[in-house]
Amino acid sequence: MSINRVAAWVSAAAVLIAVIAGFIISGSPSERRLERLDERRVSDLKQLSWAVDAYRDQRGDLPDDLMELVDGRRLSQLPVDPVTRLPYAYQPLPPDRYRLCAIFELASEATDQEQFWAHPGGQHCYEFEVAERARRAP
């Protein structure tokens, strides 16, 4: 076997090892896609939470359903799940709390900055209490 052939095999093995290590470190492309979908869901829920709080600030009560938030100021359209295209679940809870729910593909890891938004795989609901500033009469 010539030195060139050995070098080619060693190079090919090194490339294969690098590709496998890349998948192990960053996850497969399909797993990364699922992570991006979950990141989108969290972003949508953050947007909805902000809109619900803004609605409460302005109106003095929680909306009965999410469609009340679509007014061109708070939301121009209702965010929907990126896969099912269905709206996220919303439930007002007395007196000044509400839930927003989504179905996540994967469990997330809690970080110091995003501890609240950590979630398991499957359906998960976040419970919010309207901020103190929103409790004052309009």
User: DSSP state, 92?
Assistant: E
Task: Note whether residue 128 is domain-resident.
Answer: yes
Mean pLDDT value across residues 91-95: 91
Banded model confidence at residue 13, pLDDT cuts 50, 70, 90: confident
- Asked if residue 36 is part of any domain, the answer here is yes
User: How many structural domains compose the chain?
Assistant: 1
Domain span including residue 48: 29-135
Q: Contact, 11 vs 3, CB < 8 A?
A: no
* Residue 7 is assigned to a structural domain of this protein: no
Instruction: Supply 54's token pair.
Output: 């803004």
| pLDDT tens digits for range 26-76 | 567 788 899 999 999 999 999 999 999 999 999 999 999 999 999 888 899
